[in-house]
Amino acid sequence: MYDTLLFLHVLAGFFLAAGVVIYTAFVLGSPVSRPTRLVAEILWGIGGLGTLVLGIWLALYLDAYEIWDGWIIGAVVLWLAATGTGQQTSVAFQPAAGEDSPIGVDHRVVLMHWLRTLLVIALLVVMVWKPGA
């Protein structure tokens, strides 16, 4: 059971990171098409929900960790912050009907994207090194 949960949790983390990578391409000027944006949103959604649910399930499943461990609470806070910044970024990258072209975005949206990227990296660091565990 543990191996399956861990595998799915890590897979969800890859989905989450893949969604951020696609949005990074958009921020750097890649054309935004509806299908590509949809894939990014699906990856972000499945990855985000999967990392949260499976991560909490793992914390409850293992006797070595408690849900109130500092690194787990820190990971949940980082997850919430990344989700909040991601919503703002997602809305800005909606192409017009039938249009696949670079989209000019406000510098605040770009800043939100890079903030989300840093939050996801911080989340990965917390998951790998488990500070305080």
pLDDT of residue 43: 95
pLDDT of residue 95: 65
d(CA 28, CA 76): 28
pLDDT of residue 130: 83
Q: What is the pTM assigned to this prediction?
A: 0.83
pLDDT of residue 99: 61
Q: Contact 14/85 with Cβ under 8 angstroms?
A: no
Backbone φ, ψ for residue 4 (5° rounding)? -65, -45
pLDDT of residue 115: 93
Burial class, 16, CB count within 10 angstroms (exposed 0-12 / middle 13-18 / buried 19+):
buried
Residues of the chain with confidence (pLDDT) below 50: none
